[in-house]
C-alpha cells in the first residue's frame, strides 16, 4: 500500500540529544565537563532509555521529565561529576533547547510538499516536546506531536504505535516510521509499519525477532523512501 503518513521518533532522531552536554562543555563555568561531555551524554541517554523500559515492564509509568532527570543523575555520578548542582541545572535547562539535525527541516518540508502527513511519536512529555519543536523551528512542517503520556506506557509497547492509526485513520502499511533507536524501529516493523532506522553512529543491528526495513545514516533520503520523487 502507498505510504501516506510519516512518523518520527523525537530524541536522537529529529533532535540532537548530545547537544546539551556538548554546549555546556563549551561554557567556561564547567571545565570538568570539557573532556567528559561525550561520556556524560552517552550515559545519560542510555539510562534514560533503560528507565523507560524498566518502568514499562513494571507498570511504574511516570513523566518523561522525571526519567530524564533520573538518567542524568546516574550519568553524573558514574562520571564523577555529581558534585556540581549548577552543572546539573544547566544540562537540564539545555535539554529544553535541543536543536534539530541539519537535514530535518528540509526533509520534513519535502514530505509536506509531497502531500504526506507528518508527526512525532515520542516518549517525551507534551511540554518537553513542545519546547523542542519550538526551539528547532519545525512546528510548521508537522501535523501533530503524539506523546505516550496520554496512554501511560513507554515504547515499545504496541499501544504506543496504536496512537498513529487512532490519530490519522491510516492502515499500518501506510505508515513510514523513522527512529534512531534500532529496537524502536524493529518493534515497529513487528507492529506492521514500514520502518527506517536512522543509524547515525553505525551501531550493530539489535538481536530481536524483527529488523528495520531500511537503514540510513541520516534523514536526507526519507522522502524518497516514502515514495516521493
Kindly name the residue from 9, 82, 84, 206 that is annotated as catalytic.
Answer: 9
Cα distances (angstroms) measured from residue 107 to each of 134, 142, 146, 222, 224: 17, 11, 19, 7, 10
- Sign, Cα dihedral of 68, 70, 73, 77: negative
Residue keyed to cell 527512529: 179
> Can you tell me the distance from the alpha carbon of 25 to that of 211, in angstroms, rounded to the nearest whole number?
36
Concerning whether 9 is annotated as a catalytic residue, the answer is yes
pLDDT one digit per residue (tens) for the chain, 229 residues: 799 999 999 999 999 999 999 999 999 999 999 999 999 999 999 999 999 999 999 999 999 999 999 999 999 999 999 999 999 999 999 999 999 999 999 999 999 999 999 999 999 999 999 999 999 999 999 999 999 999 999 999 999 999 999 999 999 999 999 999 999 999 999 999 999 999 999 999 999 999 999 999 999 999 999 999 7
SS3 134: helix
CA distance linking residue 101 with residue 180, whole number of Å: 12
Q: What gap in Å lies between CA 205 and CA 207, rounded to an integer?
A: 6
Domains of the chain: 5-15+99-225 (3.40.50.1000), 19-95 (1.10.150.240)
Amino acid at each position: 500500500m502507498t505510504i501516506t503518513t510519516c512518523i518520527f521518533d523525537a530524541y536522537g532522531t529529529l533532535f540532537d540529544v548530545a547537544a546539551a552536554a556538548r554546549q555546556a562543555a563549551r561554557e567556561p563555568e564547567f571545565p570538568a565537563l570539557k573532556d567528559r561531555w561525550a561520556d556524560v551524554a552517552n550515559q545519560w541517554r542510555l539510562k534514560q532509555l533503560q528507565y523507560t523500559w524498566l518502568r514499562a515492564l513494571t507498570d511504574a509509568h511516570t513523566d518523561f521529565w522525571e526519567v530524564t532527570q533520573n538518567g542524568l543523575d546516574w550519568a553524573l555520578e558514574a562520571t564523577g561529576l555529581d558534585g556540581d548542582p549548577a552543572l546539573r541545572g544547566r544540562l537540564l535547562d539545555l535539554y529544553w533547547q535541543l536543536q534539530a539535525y541539519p537535514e530535518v527541516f528540509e526533509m520534513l518540508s519535502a514530505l509536506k510538499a509531497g502531500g504526506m502527513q507528518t508527526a512525532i511519536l515520542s516518549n517525551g512529555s507534551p511540554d518537553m516536546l513542545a519546547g523542542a519543536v519550538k526551539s528547532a523551528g519545525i512546528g510548521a512542517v508537522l501535523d501533530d506531536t503524539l506523546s505516550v503520556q496520554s496512554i501511560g506506557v513507554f515504547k515499545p509497547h504496541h499501544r504506543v504505535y496504536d496512537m498513529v492509526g487512532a490519530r490519522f485513520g491510516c492502515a499500518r502499511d501506510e505508515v513510514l516510521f523513522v527512529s534512531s533507536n534500532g529496537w524502536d524501529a524493529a518493534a515497529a516493523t513487528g507492529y506492521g509499519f514500514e520502518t527506517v532506522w536512522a543509524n547515525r553512529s553505525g551501531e550493530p543491528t539489535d538481536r530481536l525477532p524483527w529488523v528495520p526495513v531500511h537503514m540510513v545514516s541520516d534523514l536526507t533520503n526519507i522522502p524518497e523512501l516514502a515514495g516521493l520523487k
